Structure 1
Amino acid sequence: MLAALLLDHPFPDDEPLLHTADRMLTAGEARAGVTELAQRLRAGDVRPGTAVAVRLPNSPESVIAMTAIWSAGAVFVPVNAAAPAAEAERALEAARPAALVEPAPDGGLHVRHLDGAVRTYPDGTAFLTWTSGTTGTPKAILHTHDGYLELLDRVLGPLRGRGPSGRPPSPNLIPVSLALNSGIYNALFGLRAGAALVIMDRFRPREFADLLARFGIRSTVLPPAAIVTLNASDVEALSPLRYVRSITAPLSPLHARRFTDRFGAFVLNSYGQAEVGEVIGWTAADAKAHPEKVGAAGRPLPGVAVRIAAPEGEIGPLWVRPPRMASGYATGEQLADRIDAEGFVDTGDLARVDADGFVWIEGRAGDLINRGGNKVFPEQVEEVLRLSPAVAEAAVVGAPDDRLGEVPVAFVVDAPGAPPAPDEALAKLCREHLVAYKVPVAFHRVDALPRTEVGKLRRGDLVRRLA
């Protein structure tokens, strides 16, 4: 069970285990906190198979609450502390937990037992997470203890045993919310690897750099939005960082190369979805052997089969078959609707595989722009626009056109401190790198691009803005 990752952690009781910028809990203190909270949950209305929601800011207490719920035999339901009240209520209505863990006035943890119908979940259910909601209403995904352990070992397997004998892993830095699948995964990944955890309450470039140096962190994970922020920041060095695993959303090869060139840390892109876990990624050996592939998602992980529905080497729909996947949705949708007779899952993304077996993610199938029969991949145009020193960010969407059906339109965030580039200059830049039909017909300036909390672009918001 996942609770064992903390309760049976290899650190002795007096070893520091959970850190923040200004606090520390030893392994013994963390285990005592888990035991005490689990006893309180059992003494209330929490029974095995029922759910307990947690609404806490990023902190050691978030990890303790998650583990205590599993120790009590219950299902963990994370609720983002930064979410509006209406969104939090929708999450509670969907999950129907027996109790809610929230901050107590004295700084501890308060357990509030909830009225109403309580749902009982199938045996082995560990926790719920929600899809990003970029393409529709978020769905609650059911994760099992066995399935998530398999996912952790699927990724850890190629990485284990590569360092000097007896050398402990560097602490795992967690810069994303522990209410999100990416934050939960990062915390459990560290514990499974036998590492301490360093928890950020929110991402700040300078604090991130300070924590790397203080804890001697050699590898970490970051969402693309954080990588882009660091590229544009005044942070000069990220020593001793050597590898960054990009998570939650595709990172453009351009930003990956910029980060590697600037900070000397290789960006290991990866690919996965909440329903199937991480299925494509990098190893340190691949990074050393193929530095020219920076920006690729990597190669299929052990036990994962990948299929591109297109001729060899060309771009097409990406299907994956992992050894295990999420058990389903708590919100009524059917995961089986996306699975074919051979067990492959339709990811909804477009990709290609090169001659060395590296997978390159080209974008969402639903984002592809059909300009009079010519296909325009928005990410390709966006990468060209970001070549301009006057452009901090760019997003391209399809706008309705009576003659061609759709035409590409760009939304641009100007780079701070630089004079804005005229539309004509941006169009000329695109013509230098792209065929004519891929050049945007219009450029709109915006202060920021609409994104989810983990940095995924909300293209639908931009399409609605055009209307």
Structure 2
Amino acid sequence: MDFDAVLIAPRRAASVAAGHWQDRTINDYLAACVQERPDATALTALSIERQHVTRFTWRELARMADRVALGLSRLGIVAGDVVSCQLPNGWHLSVLYLACARLGAVLNPVMPIFRERELSFMLAHAHSKVVVVPKAFRGFDHAQMLQGLRDALPALRHVVVVDGEGDDSFEALLSGPPREDDADAAAILLRSLPGPDDVTQLIYTSGTTGEPKGVMHTANTLFSNIVAYAGRLQLSGDDVVLMASPMAHQTGFMYGLMMPVMLGAHAVLQDIWDPARAAALIREQGVTFTMGSTPFLTDLARVVAESGTPVPSLRTFLCAGAPIPGALVERARSALGATIVSAWGMSENGAVTTTLPDDAEARSSTTDGCPLPGVELRVVDGADADLPAGQTGRLLVRACSNFGGYLQRPHLNNTDAEGWFDTGDLARLDAHGYLRIAGRSKDVIIRGGENIPVLEVETLLYRHPAVAQVAIVAYPDARLGERACAFVVPRPGQSIDMAGMVAWLRQQKMALQYIPEKLVVRDALPATPAGKIQKFRLREMLLGATD
């Protein structure tokens, strides 16, 4: 793969001079952990489906990374190749990234919820040579799905199956044979170590422009954010980090996989969200820090309060993905005894803002925090003129952690010659420099921290034989933050109901989480004189503000 990370070179000198880019890769940090604390616990991974816990010390983790790297090499993976994985949180995903980093390969994590429609685009666009999937997860046969896609993916050489039983299993191909003892092991592992400006991660957005965009990151862009983030939150190698948010998102990948290695901290991974089990893990493992979207915080606070059993080790819960209601901050603080930190970020740059641990509690519900070190913000009008505090406009970000660009889509990078990235979001800054996201100029609904690609769902519904017009908008939900509602105008003489809409989208192999949860059928939709649907009026209808 020819990675066109055009946004890296122009920033290098200034980023290094400012101390933001420290030119260290995941290999450097892992080597330091092995040297300084070889027998300390590095990783505890809980599989709720299999009711199994796997643990690694730093020495064991590095040895397994070497073994899997050599297995990938035997499969033909070399520097610059893309290895995709559709894995739940667990040791296989963590080790796979560390193994790719040994070879200079690029890891492309994709969400387990994705199905044929999303995967066929992403894997083809990335030219993925190896894909690692679970045999089955949450009742779905991922291995069978990938086998069905192979003919449409000419670059794909191998599908590797976690918990598989044949020659294509993860154990047979990657984690079983002790290849690290082979005579040529050291030469293979040392010949293509990546540099800090080489692309190391490819992660796809949810496709707000009609198809997903591949976000390219390097060690420098990722770690410049993680160093600042850990510093802001006063995290160290003495912390225990619980990650139940998906590691195929930047939340899980950066702060559940990479950050513990950078700190030398113990990572605890949970594959399926179960708040009662999460509370037990916090107590059993002495978890001090975790993060997730609003539903995670809501659920955890509820089960701890209902059980009456505290989680005394938990010091901080960082909540991002949607605004946190003030009442939830108060309930969570009381139930968990932890500081509730709010934050905002994107796949393109990781966390951009967070509240401070010693901020007043109200700041977590009324703002999305202030910029991390190495981050600058501007709120501008349509002419790119800066707006005063309190006024809402387009949010621009210039950060040490800004991405290297969109793979094979440089015309969509939305970054000007001075390094300002147009986020596509609307926001305002207060007099103290704290940010508040006010809306999204790009048409996305955030459901439980998961971006729903509205345009793609609308496009599929327009293909339904009974649909003449469709518009999808968000409506508020106490637990998930937002849910999706489809407003539909049927074709003359046709009809559509909720069951029919769901069945149609499922036939199109769309991820279940993207399917609207409400359907409103109308004779017409409000529109401008030019015919553009007025979605703000549809939102008002859902809130009962108008008919």
Q: State the TM bucket, normalised to the shorter chain.
A: 0.7 to 0.9
1:263 is displaced (CA, Å) by 3.0
1:273 positional shift:
1.2
Shift of 1:219: 1.9
Mind listing any 5+ residue stretches in structure 1 that lack a counterpart? Answer: 113-120, 369-377, 413-426, 428-438, 443-467
TM-score, normalising length from structure 1? Answer: 0.72
Instruction: Give the alignment partner of residue 349 of structure 2, picking from 270, 276, 293.
Output: 276
Number of aligned residues: 384
Question: Given the alignment of the two structures, is residue 8 of structure 1 paired with residue 113 of structure 2, yes or no?
Answer: no
Secondary structure at 1:23 match in 2: strand
Cα distance, 1:202 vs structure 2: 1.3
Aligned to 2:411: 334
From the superposition, tell whether residues 174 and 362 of structure 1 become closer, same or farther in structure 2 (CA, over 3 Å): same
| Partner Cα separation in structure 1 for residue 105 and residue 265 of structure 2 | 25
Residue 47 of structure 1 is matched in structure 2 by: 78
Listed as ranges, the matches of 1:436-451 within 5 Å are 440-441=545-546
Question: How far did residue 240 of structure 1 move?
Answer: 2.7
CA contact (8 A) 2:26 2:262 kept: no
Distance 2:438 2:75 in 1: 50
Deviates more, 1:327-336 or 1:216-225: 327-336
**Residue type at the aligned position of 2:27:** A
- Letter matched to residue 545 of structure 2: P
Give the aligned partner of residue 164 of structure 2: 105
Q: 2:537 aligns with which of 390, 404, 407?
A: 407
- 8 Å CA contact 1:133, 1:139 repeated in 2: yes
In structure 1, the residue matched to 2:135 is none
Q: Is 1:221 paired with 2:291?
A: yes
Question: Does residue 317 of structure 2 align to residue 244 of structure 1?
Answer: yes
Q: Deviations over 1:70-110 (max 9, x none)?
A: 10121112233443244333322111122233315357445
Q: Secondary structure at the match of 2:104?
A: coil
State the SS of the aligned residue for 1:225. Answer: helix
Q: For 2:261, which of 187, 191, 202 is the aligned residue?
A: 191
Name the CA distance, whole Å, in 2 between partners of 1:179 and 1:396: 22
Instruction: Say whether 1:19 aligns with 2:52.
Output: no
Q: Give, in whole Å, the separation in 2 of the partners of 1:279 and 1:38.
A: 32
Q: Mind listing any 5+ residue stretches in structure 2 that lack a counterpart?
A: 1-24, 47-52, 133-159, 175-193, 381-386, 445-472, 488-524
Q: How does 1:37-436 map to 2 (within 5 A)?
A: 37-101=68-132, 102=160, 103-105=162-164, 108-109=170-171, 111=173, 124-133=198-207, 136-160=210-234, 168-186=237-255, 187-230=257-300, 233=303, 234=306, 236=308, 237-285=310-358, 287=359, 290-295=360-365, 296-309=367-380, 310-336=387-413, 338-366=414-442, 382=476, 400-401=525-526, 405=534, 406-409=536-539
Q: Is the 8 A contact 2:208 2:443 kept in 1?
A: no
Whether the aligned pair in 1 keeps the contact of 2:295 and 2:480 (CA below 8 Å) is: no
Tell me, in whole angstroms, the C-alpha distance in 2 between the residues paired with 1:197 and 1:364. 33
Relative to structure 1, the CA distance from residue 393 to residue 292 in structure 2 (aligned partners, 3 Å threshold; closer, same or farther) is: closer
Please tell me the residue identity of whatever aligns with 2:537.
V
Greater shift in the superposed pair: 349-358 or 187-196: 349-358
Q: 1:157 to 1:409 in 2, by over 3 A?
A: closer
Cα deviations by residue, 1:280-315 (Å, 9 ceiling, x for unpaired): 113323x3xx22312221111112111122332222
Name the stretch that deviates more: 318-327 or 131-140: 131-140
2:14 maps to none
Greater mean deviation of Cα atoms: 86-95 or 264-273: 86-95
Question: What is the distance in 1 between the residues matched to 2:486 and 2:170?
Answer: 50
**Structure 2 residue aligned with 1:454:** none
Give the superposition deviation at 1:156: 2.3
The change in CA–CA distance for 1:392 and 1:224 in structure 2 (over 3 A counts) is: closer
- 1:94 and 1:257, CA in 2 relative to 1: closer, same or farther beyond 3 A? farther
1:217–1:196 CA distance, 2 compared to 1 (3 A): same
Residue 9 of structure 2 is matched in structure 1 by: none
- 1:45 corresponds to which letter in structure 2? G
SS of the equivalent of 2:43 reads strand
In 2, Cα distance between equivalents of 1:264 and 1:51: 43
Q: Letter of the aligned partner of 1:78 in structure 2?
A: P
CA distance in 1, matches of 2:215, 2:364: 31
- Aligned residue type for 1:274: S
Give the root-mean-square deviation of aligned CA atoms: 3.3
Percent sequence identity over matched residues?
24
> What SS does the aligned partner of 2:396 have?
strand
How far is the alpha carbon of 1:30 from its aligned partner? 1.3
8 Å contact kept, 1:100–1:111 = no
Residue 53 of structure 1 contacts residue 78 of structure 1 at CA under 8 Å; is this kept in 2?
A: yes
Correspondences of 1:26-37 after superposition (within 5 Å): 26-37=57-68
Assess, with a 3 A threshold, how the Cα gap between structure 1 residues 402 and 180 changes in structure 2: closer, same or farther: closer
Displacement of 1:342 after TM fit?
A: 3.5
Cα deviation code 1:304-359 (max 9, x no counterpart): 111122332222222111124111112525344x2234432211222222232221
Q: Secondary structure at the match of 1:340?
A: coil
* Mapped contact 1:396–1:408 kept (Cα < 8 A): no
Paired residue secondary structure (2:66): helix
Which structure's relative contact order is higher, taking Cα pairs within 8 Å and 6+ residues apart? Answer: 2
Contact 2:110-2:204 within 8 A present in 1 as well: no
1:133 Cα deviation from its structure 2 partner = 3.3
Amino acid at match of 2:424: G
Displacement of 1:36: 1.0
